[in-house]
Structures are given as structure tokens and as C-alpha cells.
Amino acid sequence: MKKGELSVNIIIVAAIALIILVILAVLLFKTGNDLRLGTSCQGLQGICQPQELGCSDLNDPDGGITYIQHMTAKCTSNSDVCCIKQ
């Protein structure tokens, strides 16, 4: 095997490895985006309400459904709170 053939083989292997890394990175970032959605208010099947109204405004007057404020779920607006069914 000549010296030139060895360097061409190394370049080919490095190119294949780089393509595999790019594909893995794309898959990882796509999954990370789904994870972020899953921990948001929408992902928890909550309802975003203005902070002034709070979650008690959503409660069923007959006592059937009660909403509470989820402390860590985020809404698109920072002034909103996330209300989930209790």
C-alpha cells in the first residue's frame, strides 16, 4: 500500500464519520425540541391564563373540574400562568 492510498482512505473514513455525526446531531436536536414541548403548558394539556385571572376562573361552579397553577410549566407569554386539571 502506498503512502498516498493511506491518506485517501483516512479522508474517506473521516467524511463518513462526519456525515454520521451530522445525522445524529439532527436527530438529537429534533428530539430535544419535542421534549421542550412536552414540559410546556401545552404539553401538559394545561391552559394558559393571564396572571391576574389565575386558575380559579376556570373552575367548574358545580365542583366537577378544578384547575390549579402548575409552578414550572411555561406559557408563551411570561405574564401568563399555566393551569392544569387537578
Predicted TM-score (pTM) of the model is: 0.53
Q: Total domain count for the chain?
A: 1
**pLDDT score at 5:** 66
**pLDDT score at 72:** 80
- Taking the CB of residue 55, how many other CB atoms lie within 10 A of it? 20
pLDDT digits 0-9 by tens, 4-63: 667 888 899 999 999 999 999 888 777 655 555 667 888 888 888 888 888 887 888 787
Listing DSSP states for 50-78 in one string gives: ETTT-SGGGS-TTSS--EEEESSPPPSST
Query: Is residue 81 within 8 Å of residue 49, measured between CB atoms?
Result: yes
Q: Which of 62, 60, 54 is nearest to 83 (CA)?
A: 54
**pLDDT score at 19:** 97
Rounded to 5°, the CA angle 36-54-38 comes to 15
Domain span at 71: 3-85
